[in-house]
Structure 1
């Protein structure tokens, strides 16, 4: 069965998603920054409220994905701490000065996160070649790539997403995300043949909409 992950940029959204038909919650903070690491106390509240899968974004700030040594150390500390909060995985992505995947830093975080699976987030869409980046992310040991197909949104990137899904096969999960809503998810599903989808389900605010979440899930389940 196809699955749905909801990106939640605040605790209110995450608690709404916890009552929905979604399969997984990606929990972060600060929608205006595109998501950063959420507060520890909010992770604990969410974990106590639901048995759904929860994956946590590890990102020290908004902006680009090339981090200072201090920011990288912060990411490592956050993974070490959050590992103890009974979560189900991590979401991160580090690029180098040229907006290509930083193999060694990502590998260090993946090793640190074990045994939890890791998703490479939409930093992937800043890279120059989707298929080269795909191979790097597979080699690193990530389990999922969240991507809009190197485009601004999933609709613009649907043909690249289709290619990524075909090339990934059973090696890694390609999860379309970025502008995905109930108005276009069926077309993206039909086009890409992906098995996992990602949406914030935000309609008119920064709070996830429960009805939108359940419609999204229904559309990929039909």
Structure 2
């Protein structure tokens, strides 16, 4: 199986920088932090028009939590349909109920919508907040989810390393397990891959850029993307950057 790297991007500019650094697949969000927000249609259209990237769109109406009210859900399904109509290659979403279990009805409905476009359905980091991980994984697999994003049920990827290894071993043949790498230290990625057996890594390669009217903002550093690619290609056999 090929190893794969995905770059988490917060804008059209970020996407262009990621591609310039050698990436071929991104998760597109309107915000780089706290697991992201739904991107604008303008951002998606510009990325699809001017890059050759595979684009997984984050579907998230607000930053806090994964238990949504009816208005949030209505908006999310409309956003998903519009994103898919405009070229999204996949949607990353997550629905939990008040007991922190998978919201089966909403999750099934979203998977069916995404698959009706023949695109990828990814369960986002909502999976890190469930109380029963094995039950949740089996529910998602039964419903046909294509993959998950995870930090191993922890706030940082190092604390979640053992769980990520378990998820890859127990469920990796049924769906794609993508570890959300929140550390820009490229030297540690290969060791993490070897220790967990993970095949997919999502990276965020940020630098602070000067904004003359206020202060600064974070954006993708194409040189950091390139450096991660070079580090991985040098040390890991059969590693494909997507």
Common topology (TM > 0.5): yes
| Deviation of the 1:99 alpha carbon | 1.8
Are the aligned partners of 1:130 and 1:149 in contact in 2 as well (CA < 8 Å)? no
Are the aligned partners of 1:18 and 1:49 in contact in 2 as well (CA < 8 Å)? no
Q: Which structure's CA Rg is the greater one?
A: 2
Q: Is residue 2:62 matched to residue 1:61? A: yes
Name 1:209's counterpart in structure 2. Answer: 221
Are the aligned partners of 2:38 and 2:57 in contact in 1 as well (CA < 8 Å)? yes
Runs of 5+ consecutive residues of structure 2 not aligned to the other structure:
209-216, 236-242
Are the aligned partners of 1:124 and 1:147 in contact in 2 as well (CA < 8 Å)? yes
Are the aligned partners of 2:181 and 2:201 in contact in 1 as well (CA < 8 Å)? no
Q: Secondary structure at the match of 1:90?
A: strand
Are the aligned partners of 2:66 and 2:95 in contact in 1 as well (CA < 8 Å)? yes
| Deviation of the 1:170 alpha carbon | 1.6
Question: Matches of residues 159-170 of structure 1 in structure 2 within 5 Å?
Answer: 159-170=162-173
Q: Deviations over 1:121-179 (max 9, x none)?
A: 11111112332222122122111111010011111111110010000132011111041
Name the one with the larger strand percent. Answer: 2
Q: Secondary structure at the match of 1:176?
A: strand
Q: Deviations over 1:77-106 (max 9, x none)?
A: 111111121221111111111222111101
Taking the aligned partners of 1:151 and 1:117, their CA distance within structure 2 comes to 25
Are the aligned partners of 2:121 and 2:147 in contact in 1 as well (CA < 8 Å)? yes
TM normalised by structure 2 equals 0.86
Taking the aligned partners of 2:119 and 2:56, their CA distance within structure 1 comes to 9
Give me the CA root mean square deviation: 1.6
Q: Is residue 2:144 matched to residue 1:141? A: yes
Question: Matches of residues 52-201 of structure 1 in structure 2 within 5 Å?
Answer: 52-114=53-115, 115-181=118-184, 182-201=186-205
Q: Secondary structure at the match of 2:206?
A: coil
| Deviation of the 1:113 alpha carbon | 1.2
Taking the aligned partners of 1:220 and 1:95, their CA distance within structure 2 comes to 35
Q: Is residue 2:47 matched to residue 1:35? A: no
Q: 1:22 to 1:41 in 2, by over 3 A?
A: same
